[in-house]
Copies of this chain bind each other. A is one copy, B any other.
Amino acid sequence: MIPRYSRPEMTAIWSPETKFRIWFEIEAHALDAMAEIGVVPKEAAVTVWEKGGAATFDIDRIDEIERTTKHDVIAFLTHLAEIVGEDARFVHQGMTSSDVLDTCFNVQLVRAADLLIADVDALLAALKRRAFEHKDTVTIGRSHGIHAEPVTFGVKLAQAYAEFDRCRARLVAARAEVATCAISGAVGSFANIDPRVEEHVAEKLGLVPEPVSTQVIPRDRHAMYFATLGVVASSIERLATEIRHLQRTEVLEAEEYFSPGQKGSSAMPHKRNPVLTENLTGLARLVRGMALPAMENVALWHERDISHSSVERMIGPDATVTLDFALVRLTGVIDKLLVYPQNMKKNLDRLGGLVHSQRVLLALTQKGVSREDAYRLVQRNAMRVWEQGADFLAELKGDPDVTAALTDAELEEKFDLGYHTKHVDTIFRRVFGTA
């Protein structure tokens, strides 16, 4: 988590202040439930809410205590006792540190998921706007980096929209994975804590009780969460890579917005580089790499060990902060993307009409030429265009084996661009519900 790739909205979730506030709320809600059940005095709960609720926790003081106890939750509870006074002794009764730590971690992950979902929503909005703007902007579709057949730039963006719409659904599912609460005491047996306490805390925090926590919330949930972030990051990489390709000097069909005063290169003043999308490519690698340690965290020993903790202290903030930053950056790129329809047209014409080869192939077979022969006929003309830069239509017209099957007019009809875009509306309706 480095400032350069962080947004305050997300980093705030991971601040010590937020963490201790959530810890306090968990403890105080639990105390409420205990008071309700009758195992602690109701006044104690009131006092804790009043004094703790009003207090600002002193992070340095907590750190100081932790240096002696070597235990963060005990350090916090000690500090809380300094604030609350004698009633603090009722706090945390029958609970274990993991009840606080794991529930807090899940609260943070849920909040992070909410932010990520909102990020995706903003990205979807930008994609939709630009998709409709360029719904009919014809451009060449490329397979293997080689010109294939025409599509529209709007369809490219509709594809990205559909992909991030799936990512949204995945994030919603990932959020649900970790939206659980455990207040079950040592080894999760509820020996010293009534299950009703867990139910109360869960409800107050917008979570559901973990069916079987074994002191810890099982880490398959978190593995799924971070694996999902890795997939979302990979989708970011896909769109970023598309833009990097489009901005290549030889292609230049689209370009990241270049702000006045920006310098592309300290040495070469002419440069306008797709640095944002390159950056996104790297950030995707980072987020993806964090899925692995999260999966290795699942196999804790027996009821629990603490090996997951150091992993989560790092990837918890790092993966969410980085992905949040990346989504927002990508939204900005899409929002302000410079699009060059004329260059798209110019590139489209570059292959001398070869992009229409399939239509000619089909036309030949429809005239009764065998598929094998038709393929051979088209390919031999195509290869001349490819190698000598000839005009495909002219070559076809000059090939007697072709003209034996197709008239000039029939051939010309096969070179109509509109033919390729006639189903754009179909695709848009599928993706956006409307065209």
Asked if B220 contacts A166 (CB within 8 A), the reply is yes
Q: A68-B261, A97-B265, A235-B220 are in contact. Are A241 and B278 (CB under 8 A)?
A: no
Find chain B residues with CB under 8 A from A230 CB: 223, 227, 291, 295
For A354, the closest partner residue in chain B by CB is: B270
For residue A114, which residues in chain B have a CB less than 8 angstroms away from its CB?
Answer: none
A218 proximal to B (CB < 8 A): yes
Cβ of A302 to closest chain B Cβ, rounded Å:
4
Whether A146 pairs with B259 at a CB distance below 8 angstroms is no
Given A78-B372, A187-B149, A421-B189, are A214 and B274 neighbors across the interface (CB < 8 Å)?
no
Give the dominant DSSP class at A's interface: helix
Q: Contact check, A191 vs B423: say whether CB atoms are below 8 A apart.
A: yes
**Of the residues B88, B215, B292, B293, contact of A143 by C-beta under 8 Å:** B215
CB-CB < 8 A to A361: which residues of B? 267-269
| Chain B: CB-nearest residue to A359 | B192
Contact B282 A310 (CB under 8 A): yes
Nearest 10 Cβ contacts at the A-B interface? A141-B187, A270-B382, A144-B273, A282-B310, A234-B298, A142-B302, A190-B423, A285-B293, A270-B354, A250-B250
Q: Mark A119-149, 1 if CB is under 8 A from B, else 0.
A: 0000000000000000000001111111111
Protomer copies:
4
Q: Which positions 60-80 of chain A face chain B at CB distance < 8 Å? A: 68-71, 73-74, 77-78
Q: How many residues of A contact B (CB 8 A)?
A: 164
Q: Quick check: is A388 within 8 A (CB to CB) of the other chain?
A: no
Within A259-292, the residues touching B (CB, 8 Å) are 259, 261-275, 278-279, 281-286, 288-292
Using A92-B266, A262-B69, A375-B263 as known contacts, say yes or no to A273 and B143 having CB atoms under 8 A apart: yes
Is A386 an interface residue when CB atoms closer than 8 A count as contact?
yes
Stretch in A17-25, A48-56, A399-407, A426-434 touching the partner:
A426-434
Q: Across the interface, do B301 and A385 meet the contact criterion of CB distance under 8 Å?
A: no
Q: Nearest-CB distance from A354 to chain B (Å)?
A: 4
Residues in B whose Cβ lies below 8 Å from that of A96: 265-268
**Given pairs A142-B248, A195-B426, A270-B386, 20 additional interface contacts (CB within 8 A):** A4-B313, A88-B371, A89-B370, A92-B371, A93-B362, A97-B265, A144-B275, A145-B249, A149-B187, A163-B218, A170-B224, A191-B359, A233-B295, A234-B299, A238-B300, A244-B301, A249-B351, A275-B306, A279-B309, A282-B293
Q: In the assembled complex, how far is the CB of residue A86 from the closest CB belonging to chain B, in whole angstroms?
A: 8
In the bound complex, residues from chain B placing their C-beta under 8 Å from that of A310 are 5, 279, 282-283, 286
Check A211 for interface membership: any CB of B closer than 8 A.
yes
Q: Please, which residue of chain B has its CB at the minimum distance from the CB of A88?
A: B371
Contact indicator A266/B73 (Cβ below 8 Å):
yes
**Cβ of A306 and Cβ of B351 under 8 Å apart?**
no
Please state if A247 and B146 are interface contacts (CB–CB under 8 Å).
Answer: yes
| CB pair A191 B149 closer than 8 Å | yes
Give every chain B residue within 8 A of A167 (Cβ-Cβ): 220
Residues of A202-224 contacting chain B, CB below 8 A: 209, 211-212, 214-215, 218, 220-221, 223-224
27 contacts between A and B (CB under 8 A): A2-B314, A5-B310, A69-B261, A71-B263, A96-B266, A97-B265, A141-B302, A143-B187, A144-B273, A144-B306, A145-B305, A148-B187, A151-B187, A159-B212, A162-B211, A211-B431, A212-B430, A269-B378, A270-B378, A270-B386, A279-B306, A279-B310, A282-B309, A284-B299, A285-B307, A289-B293, A291-B291
Is the pair A218, B250 in contact by a Cβ cutoff of 8 Å? no
Given A220-B234, A220-B235, A279-B309, the answer on whether A302 and B245 have CB atoms closer than 8 Å is yes
> Which residues of B are found within 8 Å of A291, using beta-carbon distances?
227, 230, 291-292, 295
